[in-house]
Structure 1
Amino acid sequence: MKRDIDTQLVEWKKSEFRKPLVIRGARQVGKTYSVCRFGETHFETFIKLDFERDRTIHRIFEGDLSTEKMILELEVHANISITPGKTLLFLDEIQECERALLSLRYFYEEIPKLHIIAAGSMLEFTLGSISFPVGRISFEWMRPMTFHEFLNASGREILADKLPCISNFSPVSETIHLKIIEQLKRYILTGGMPEAVKRYCRTGSLTQSFVVHEEIYQSFLQSLVKYQKRADIDSLDHLMRSVPSHVGSQIKYTRLDPDRRIEKTKTSLHILERALLLHIIKSSDATGLPLNATASSKVMKPLFLDVGLMQYCCGINPSDVLKEKNLSNVYKGALAEQFVGQELLAASGSENFKLFYWSRAKKSSSAEVDYLYVKDGRIWPIEVKSGPAGKLKSLHIFLNEHPHVEKGYVMSPVSFERQDVDKLTFIPVYTRFV
């Protein structure tokens, strides 16, 4: 399945300022598949080392991290000659070997022409515990498949090309809009985990993708316990099933798990965040950039890894999604908000691969805007709604209190054209953030 990261990998290969590349992302989002296909199609020789499956590889990185020694032993291990500029060296599940992570620095300094990519399912747990070679590596994020990638994978390339873009908007007809919404419903049920998408594409059955969701859920749970020996599996299980139901809502630890101590819930939530199964969206007052400068650590909303896994965990009836004309009416609009947040995060997020929103807590008139989108040094508030402008009270309040913000976007499942009403711009919910 073609992924957006394919183009980025080709650009990385050609760059004269190339550094060893570390691909970050949750388990089973397709990192290994994409790198392997890239290596096999764009290099004369390709070497893949899996530090989780083959523990003997670890010995190569013990002791002296001499690049000459490591290259020699890697060639012997793989029985393949390594030629800088013609060979791709792929270090998979690199979090299993901290010395291999450290070696990236020396490869960059001493053999800069050698193409090296590293990836790992639980890499975030390691990054915070070692002295990482900052400035000597580059990062690329990989998320679940976007709606655009889903359409391409399911053989609807022409429909994928019709998706409007927020920066260069081209409206679609009502007929095409209805076809896009029909596929969007299937994407929301299938989600963007590659295995679930593959199962759906091969069988045409949404039920088959639901089977994959259960398999993925269980594998996530077991991997978390492996990397966090002291983790409370019951607490993690509870949060993984309950957090998706809080998407679109501000959360409090006591509400997430009233039967456990707050400290336990905080710990488990932090584990889920580091495993990239959960993204914490912080509230910013949006008075200026960067948004993170005024972000609150107390006011937050959750975004789950994948909309398909979300609907699975929440037990949403698939028929309710398929028969509903307006997706904002399904599950209190949380599915539509998860979808937009997931797409926004896949496009680098609000700021530095993070998401932010705006909230104001006042007894007389509290207000909240779903997302803050930053483009070309400007802030654009985004609401995921279905109603007319008159019902967008929070967005109007935000624009009144932030005169430096030119306008706000309303992403709606019922819109198929761009409509400007005062300082509001209505666009389809499936508009791409490119």
Structure 2
Amino acid sequence: MLYRKIESLIEEHLKSDSKKILLIDGARQIGKTYIINHVGKKLFENYIEINMIADSLGDRLFENTKTVEDFYLQVSMLAGNKMKNKENTLIFIDEIQAYPHLLTLLKFLSQDNKFTYIASGSLLGVTLSQTTSIPMGSIRKVRMFPLDFEEFLYANGMNELAISSMRKKFERFEALDESMHNKMLDLFRKFLLVGGLPDAVNAYLETKNIQAVRDIQDEIHDYYAADASKYDDEMKLKIRRIYDLIPSNMENKKKRIVVQSIENKRGKTFNNYADEFDYLISAGIALNVQVISNPTFPLIESTGKNLLKLYLNDVGILTGILYGNNIKAVLNDERSINLGSVYETVVASELIAHGHKLFYYDNRSKGEVDYLIDDYDSLSAVPIEVKSGKDYTVHSALNTFVQNEDYHIKKAFVVSNERKVTQNGKITYIPIYYIMFFNADWGNKNLQF
């Protein structure tokens, strides 16, 4: 079984006295149902799982369920013998977005407190915004993502002691020795190929067959692109077009969305596609990076709606699209291949999985910096530049950025394949795999800057 960090969060919540219902949000095929099944069956004698998409395609028992009493009645038709009490009965409402009215009902199930509940779904951001009565105070919504690099390391046999030792070296800004660095870089490059979709990771572990991995990634990629069933045909086509454009946008110098290319129509603006962007982001299949022109803390106050960047939610899907079964492009560090978009994608997925909101800096005269994150310790922005090639010390825009006294930059990072950890003024150079330790609370970890 794959180790998932969210398992401890789910277990702690279900063991707690909280009356809030845990609601796990995230893209399809990332392992939400599997991990909830695992924890639920481990902790509860009576475990009841109800998939609302399956119900909507079948008996529609819950289609018009609006009261707690009706909900209990419908559940009892499926598993009445398992409905005991709160301490030993867990009811898992899977794919809850199929019936938006059930989100409102969660509030009343929580207040009734007869059983323990957990729910999961995708597109919950969109669904909640369309719900007439949002169950504020009654739910705890947590976002789940594909496996991050640390989880991939565990899947490949690395133990907690080794990862903890590396974390301590990162916190002291120390480099790994040559042999460990080479091992980590090899695993990181394999992560670029395999990505973090559980089925793809399991296929890799079981077969070491890139074709088997790519078949799974292709299937999920196609499923993501087609899964907009609640919208009309015109909107589905626009969603599919924007999603299909993401890899080619990554190959452009600016890597951001060009609105005119979506339908090849002049005069279109971001506002014309707000719902389509919202779908891709809320579904968890695209990661959005918002532009910042005035990088002051907190960054959210300076964000702009235009000049949006979108990344695929899984780096393995991206390398499959770009390179197919040719693993040499990634594993062998081919000079003719620019892995810039691949490295930026994996950094985006790592940062967002670790709790960061994603921003980038763009200034017409001063250039662009790949990522900005908030540092709550120093109350300033932290720029991150991503380098996939040998020229990792060349970054004129970053140099100009950190020297601007109006921005109050305390520290900056360049991540690359280089083993050594060095500092030049405010800029620290670290190996790319250390990005797995950039947790959202990292500013409170007493890092030695």
Give the alignment's TM-score, normalised by structure 2. 0.85
* Corresponding position: 1:65 with 2:67: yes
Write the deviation string for residues 141-174 of structure 1: whole angstroms up to 9, x where unpaired: 1111111111212333366555437556553211
| Separation in structure 2 between the aligned mates of residue 203 and residue 406 of structure 1, nearest angstrom | 46
Distance 1:117 1:169, change over 3 A: farther
**Which of 350, 354, 358 in structure 2 is aligned with 1:355?**
358
| Separation in structure 1 between the aligned mates of residue 285 and residue 158 of structure 2, nearest angstrom | 28
Amino acid at match of 1:334: S
Q: CA deviation at 1:198?
A: 1.0
Q: CA deviation at 1:337?
A: 1.0
| Separation in structure 2 between the aligned mates of residue 203 and residue 261 of structure 1, nearest angstrom | 50
* Corresponding position: 1:164 with 2:153: no
| Separation in structure 2 between the aligned mates of residue 149 and residue 278 of structure 1, nearest angstrom | 21
Q: CA deviation at 1:294?
A: 0.8
Structure 1 residues 228-307: aligned runs within 5 Å: 228-247=231-250, 249-256=255-262, 258=264, 262=268, 268-307=276-315
Q: CA deviation at 1:229?
A: 2.6
Amino acid at match of 2:142: E
**Which of 314, 319, 341 in structure 2 is aligned with 1:334?**
341
Amino acid at match of 2:343: A
Counterpart in 2 of 1:216? 220
Counterpart in 1 of 2:188? 184
Counterpart in 2 of 1:372? 372
Amino acid at match of 1:254: Q
**Alignment check: 8 A CA contact 1:245 1:314 kept:** no
Q: CA deviation at 1:138?
A: 0.7
Distance 1:252 1:100, change over 3 A: same
**Alignment check: 8 A CA contact 1:94 1:118 kept:** yes
**Alignment check: 8 A CA contact 1:382 1:410 kept:** yes
Counterpart in 1 of 2:99? 97
* Corresponding position: 1:323 with 2:332: yes
Structure 1 residues 129-140: aligned runs within 5 Å: 129-131=130-132, 132-140=134-142
Distance 1:71 1:266, change over 3 A: closer
Distance 1:236 1:376, change over 3 A: closer
Q: CA deviation at 1:268?
A: 4.0
**Alignment check: 8 A CA contact 1:191 1:308 kept:** yes
Q: CA deviation at 1:380?
A: 1.3
**Alignment check: 8 A CA contact 2:328 2:334 kept:** no
Amino acid at match of 2:400: I
* 400-409 or 335-344: bigger deviation: 400-409
Percent identical pairs in the alignment equals: 27
Q: Secondary structure at the match of 1:302?
A: strand
Q: Secondary structure at the match of 1:331?
A: coil
Give the alignment's TM-score, normalised by structure 1. 0.88
Q: CA deviation at 1:115?
A: 2.6
Q: CA deviation at 1:101?
A: 1.3
| Separation in structure 2 between the aligned mates of residue 320 and residue 298 of structure 1, nearest angstrom | 33
Q: CA deviation at 1:232?
A: 4.8
| Separation in structure 2 between the aligned mates of residue 310 and residue 261 of structure 1, nearest angstrom | 30
Q: Secondary structure at the match of 2:409?
A: coil
| Separation in structure 2 between the aligned mates of residue 161 and residue 403 of structure 1, nearest angstrom | 34
| Separation in structure 2 between the aligned mates of residue 209 and residue 406 of structure 1, nearest angstrom | 42
* Corresponding position: 1:405 with 2:403: no
Q: Secondary structure at the match of 1:84?
A: coil
Distance 1:255 1:172, change over 3 A: same
Counterpart in 2 of 1:205? 209
* Corresponding position: 1:430 with 2:414: no
Q: Secondary structure at the match of 2:84?
A: coil
* Corresponding position: 1:419 with 2:422: yes
Counterpart in 1 of 2:156? 154
| Separation in structure 1 between the aligned mates of residue 48 and residue 59 of structure 2, nearest angstrom | 12
* 24-33 or 165-174: bigger deviation: 165-174
Distance 1:279 1:336, change over 3 A: same
Q: CA deviation at 1:72?
A: 4.8
Amino acid at match of 2:184: I
Q: Which consecutive residues of structure 1, in runs of 5 or more, have no partner in the other structure?
A: none
Amino acid at match of 1:140: V
Write the deviation string for residues 75-96 of structure 1: whole angstroms up to 9, x where unpaired: 3421312311222211001111
* 164-173 or 268-277: bigger deviation: 164-173
Q: CA deviation at 1:346?
A: 0.4
Counterpart in 2 of 1:308? 316
* 160-169 or 118-127: bigger deviation: 160-169
Distance 1:204 1:259, change over 3 A: farther
**Alignment check: 8 A CA contact 1:242 1:314 kept:** no
Counterpart in 2 of 1:31? 32
| Separation in structure 1 between the aligned mates of residue 164 and residue 263 of structure 2, nearest angstrom | 43
Amino acid at match of 1:296: G
Aligned residues: 421
Q: CA deviation at 1:299?
A: 2.1
**Alignment check: 8 A CA contact 1:241 1:314 kept:** no
Q: Which consecutive residues of structure 2, in runs of 5 or more, have no partner in the other structure?
A: 440-449
Q: CA deviation at 1:220?
A: 1.7
Q: Secondary structure at the match of 1:227?
A: coil
**Alignment check: 8 A CA contact 2:287 2:349 kept:** no
Q: Secondary structure at the match of 2:287?
A: strand
Write the deviation string for residues 198-245 of structure 1: whole angstroms up to 9, x where unpaired: 111111112210011111122223322x12233455544443332123
| Separation in structure 2 between the aligned mates of residue 267 and residue 10 of structure 1, nearest angstrom | 35
Counterpart in 1 of 2:383? 381
**Alignment check: 8 A CA contact 2:352 2:358 kept:** yes
| Separation in structure 2 between the aligned mates of residue 117 and residue 85 of structure 1, nearest angstrom | 14
| Separation in structure 2 between the aligned mates of residue 153 and residue 72 of structure 1, nearest angstrom | 42
Q: Secondary structure at the match of 2:256?
A: coil
Q: Secondary structure at the match of 1:301?
A: strand
* 187-196 or 383-392: bigger deviation: 383-392
Distance 1:107 1:391, change over 3 A: same
**Alignment check: 8 A CA contact 1:61 1:103 kept:** no
Structure 1 residues 8-157: aligned runs within 5 Å: 8-55=9-56, 58-60=60-62, 62=64, 64-66=66-68, 68-79=69-80, 80-111=82-113, 114-131=115-132, 132-157=134-159
Amino acid at match of 1:367: G
